[in-house]
Amino acid sequence: MPSAGDNLGWLESLSPWPEEFGLERMQDLLSALGDPQRSSAAIHVVGTNGKTTTARLIEALLAAEGLAVGVYTSPHVLGWSERIRVRGGEADLERALERARPAAEELGATQFEVLTAAAFAEFADADVDVAVVEAGLGGRLDATNVLGAQVVVLTSVALEHTDVLGETREEIADEKLAVVRPGAVVVLGEPEWEQAARQKGAEAVVIAGRSNLALALAAAESFLGRTVNPSAADDVELPGRVEHVSEEPLEIWDGAHNLAGVGWLLARLPERRYVLLTSILADKDVDGMLAALSALGDRFVATTSGNPRAVPAAELGLRAGRFFSYVEVVSDSAEALAHAREVAGESGAILVTGSLYLLADLASVRPATPVPWRP
């Protein structure tokens, strides 16, 4: 067990998943901390893809309008502190965890519950004007569903976590929109969910464009009740989003973690034949993702991220054999990256994708000066 002063080690020792989804423990934890989630207005970002990008763009737009903004996103790519931001910078994660730890240990809180509570407490302590909060999984039973947000953004809906959220897009949308409280404004990237949003009590529904920037702009303007300058989002940079970590030879990292994300990625890659270095979580459409990725090249290196839900490298390699003519299995992700680079050579191209958790595992071997994607 990590020592009393090792808060990050303690966090990493916690289970990322609850035995049963529900809000009771999260509500008890927040109550023990003085209900910090009530200290500021909130914008809640839910959806299948694009949540982190949309949240970070909202942060930039509102900060440019003079607001003090807190942002909570997940998962991280470079480090845990990436998840909690206050007034334009990363929060002191050790301090945030220290504040939440006693009550969290007493209640047996999960990793995500701890981080969520720590974020809310940090926002309250910093007296932010608005908290921009990304949901973790779904909405109805997600630990973030304690906000009563003034604005809810639904980025997109695709089949994902069907064992928890439902087997159709309609069921999944219903789970995600369950965070809507009567009187909220709901911003949609897909117009087909307007009736569902109104049934949840939305006072107004804004149909934005499908891009992350269009969603963020609509959310910021709905929150403020006035237009904002979109150029404030021009300098937002996010790791692991079509990120060119090397140009010569070409190496791109992207956290596309489901079939819809892979489809988005395919339209944005330079036209090359790639060596694919991939890990995928078992609850995704693994074969669908592999089939889509096979359009990019015929050489595939299967590996496994540290997430316990990841498909074992050997199984992923076996399934990839249907779609790729050259498949190798290297379980250790850092060794797999080195092997992919060897296979690609100086004139080849590499795409690292399939899971943000894979990118996080490789953070220590990233090139020093990557070129992040800008929305």
- The SS3 of residue 328 is strand
Residue 122 in tokens: 């940090």
| Among the listed residues 147, 87, 78, the one whose alpha carbon sits nearest the alpha carbon of residue 122 | 87
Strand 204-207 versus strand 185-188 pairing type: parallel
Residue 8 to residue 196: CA distance in whole angstroms = 40
Q: What is the DSSP letter of 92?
A: -
Q: How many angstroms separate the CA atoms of 80 and 272, rounded?
A: 33
Question: Which parts of 228-372 fold into alpha helices (H)?
Answer: 259-266, 286-293, 313-320, 333-344, 356-361
Nearest to 142 by CA among 223, 233, 72: 72
pLDDT at 369: 57
Please work out, in degrees rounded to the nearest 5, the angle formed at the alpha carbon of residue 41 by the alpha carbons of 255 and 191: 55
Strand positions, DSSP E, the chain: 41-46, 69-72, 84-86, 89-90, 130-134, 151-154, 185-188, 204-207, 243-246, 250-253, 274-278, 299-302, 326-329, 349-353
Strand-pair category, 84-86 with 204-207: unpaired
Structure tokens at 317: 């390699």
Please return the burial class of 262, using the count of CB atoms within 10 Å of its CB with bins 0-12, 13-18 and 19+.
buried
- Residue 359 confidence (pLDDT): 95
Question: Residue with structure tokens 């979580």?
Answer: 281
Number of residues written out for the chain: 375
- Angle at which helix 93-107 crosses helix 111-126, to 10 degrees, equals 130
**Beta-carbon contacts of residue 327 (< 8 Å; ≥ 6 apart):** 300, 301, 302, 317, 320, 321
Which of 43, 14, 30 is CA-nearest to residue 108?
Answer: 14
Are 205 and 213 spatial neighbours (Cβ–Cβ below 8 Å)? no
Q: What is the pTM of this model?
A: 0.90
Q: How far is the C-alpha of 338 from the C-alpha of 16, rounded, in Å? A: 29
What token pair was written down for 67? 């607001």
pLDDT at 210: 85
pLDDT of the chain, 375 residues: tens digit per residue: 565 559 999 999 998 878 788 899 999 999 999 999 999 999 999 999 899 999 999 999 999 999 999 999 999 999 999 999 999 999 999 999 999 999 999 999 999 999 999 999 999 999 999 999 999 988 899 999 999 999 999 999 987 765 666 679 899 999 999 999 999 999 999 999 999 999 999 999 999 988 999 999 999 999 999 999 999 999 898 888 899 888 888 999 999 999 999 999 999 999 999 999 999 999 899 999 999 999 999 999 999 999 999 999 999 999 999 999 999 999 999 999 999 999 999 889 999 999 999 999 998 888 765 555 555
For the record, the structure tokens of 206 come out as: 């804004």
Query: How far apart are the C-alpha atoms of 372 and 375, rounded to whole Å?
Result: 10
CA nearest neighbour of 86 among 115, 124, 50 = 124
Angle, helices 93-107 vs 24-32, to 10°: value is 120
Q: 319 Cβ partners below 8 Å, 6+ apart?
A: 286, 287, 290, 311
Res 21: pLDDT: 83
Return left, alpha or beta for 209; rule: phi > 0 is left, psi -120 to 50 is alpha, else beta. beta
